[in-house]
Chains A and B, each alone.
Chain A
Amino acid sequence: QVQLVQSGAEVKKPGSSVKVSCKASGGTFSSYTISWVRQAPGQGLEWMGRIIPILGIANYAQKFQGRVTITADKSTSTAYMELSSLRSEDTAVYYCAREDLLGAFDIWGQGTMVTVSS
C-alpha cells in the first residue's frame, strides 16, 4: 500500500524560503503524479502544482508561478515543494497527494505545518 510521509513542521521568517519533502513508500514512484495542496488556517484547499516524476515535468497554479518549485528525486522516491519569498499569508498546512491518471487525489500525506512569522 502506497504511503506518503512528509517532513516536519517549519517556522520561517518573512522573505525566506521553505522546502517540504514527501517520501513515498510502496508502489512505483516514477509512475505517479504528485500534487501539492495547501490549507491556510480555517480556510479551504488550494491546489499549488504537480510534478510527473517519470517525465520530470512540473506545472503550477498561476497564483504561485515564480515562487514555487516542485521537484522529485526518483532515487529516493521523494517529492519536494519549495516556496520562496514567504509572507504571513503563506502560513498553512501543506499536503502532498498522489494524483491518479484522471486527476483524483487518492492518497495524501499527513500534512506539514508551515508558520511564517517574524
Chain B
Amino acid sequence: QSALTQPASVSGSPGQSITISCTGTSSDVGSYNLVSWYQQHPGKAPKLMIYEGSKRPSGVSNRFSGSKSGNTASLTISGLQAEDEADYYCCSYAGSSTPSVFGGGTKLTVL
C-alpha cells in the first residue's frame, strides 16, 4: 500500500484561503469518500479535522472544509489564522479488513 501524495508545504497570509491536496488511486481515495484529515501541532497528538471526506467533528471551525474529485481529496482552510500553522495529514479508509494509509503530510506556514 503506497502512501497518499500531499504537497510537502503550503503557505498563506492571515485571512487568505489555502487548499491541501491528497492524491491516491482508484483503489483508495477514488473508490470511497472516506478520507479523513488531521492537524498536528509540534509535540502534540494529531487532531481529527474532517471525516468521511467533508464532515466536521463538533468543535472544529467551519473554516475547515473537505472535498473530493476523482482520486484526489482536498482540505481547504479559509480565513487563515496564526494558530492554523501546523502539519496536516490525510488518511484513506477502505474497510475494516484493509489497511488504512496516510499521506506524507503537509506543513502549513501562515506568513
Residues of A within 8 A of B (CB): 33, 35, 37, 44-47, 50, 52, 59-62, 95, 97, 99-100, 102-106, 108-111
Shortest C-beta distance, B5 to chain A (Å), equals: 12
Chain A binding surface, main DSSP class:
strand
Within the assembled complex, what's the spacing in Å between the Cα atoms of A45 and B102? 6
Per the bound structure, the CA–CA distance linking A35 and B96 in Å amounts to: 11
Instruction: Please state if B104 and A104 are interface contacts (CB–CB under 8 Å).
Output: no
Q: Given A45-B38, A50-B96, A52-B96, are A105 and B102 neighbors across the interface (CB < 8 Å)?
A: no
Other than the given A103-B36, A106-B51, A108-B46, 6 more pairs (CB < 8 A) read A45-B89, A46-B102, A103-B34, A105-B46, A109-B45, A111-B45
A-B contact count (CB 8 A): 72
Chain A residues positioned under 8 Å from B51 (CB to CB): 100, 102, 104, 106
CA distance A5 to B34 in the complex (A): 27
